[in-house]
Amino acid sequence: MNELEKLKKLLHHWAEHNEEHAAIYKDWAVKATELNQIEASEILNNIHEQTNNMTDLFNKALKSLSVK
């Protein structure tokens, strides 16, 4: 496998892995709300959103490699 193929695989893996983490953060945000831990819930929701933004960036990077 050459370096470009490896980079494509890594970006795909990182995007998928990030999605898994984002789902966990969202689940815990809901649980924090149920525990009346509103500030923690808001922070976890923010982390969830930022993690989704990172996933978008991984996917954009992957797409940019496919174009060339």
The ranges assigned to domains in the chain are 19-67
The confidence score (pLDDT) of residue 67 equals 66
Provide the pLDDT confidence category of residue 1 given band limits of 50, 70 and 90.
confident
User: Above 90 in pLDDT, residue 43?
Assistant: yes
Q: Could you tell me the pTM of the whole model?
A: 0.89
Q: Which residues contact 65 (CB under 8 A, 6 or more apart)?
A: 4, 7, 8, 11
Average pLDDT of the segment spanning 32-36: 98
User: Above 60 in pLDDT, residue 25?
Assistant: yes
Average pLDDT of the segment spanning 26-40: 98
User: Above 90 in pLDDT, residue 68?
Assistant: no
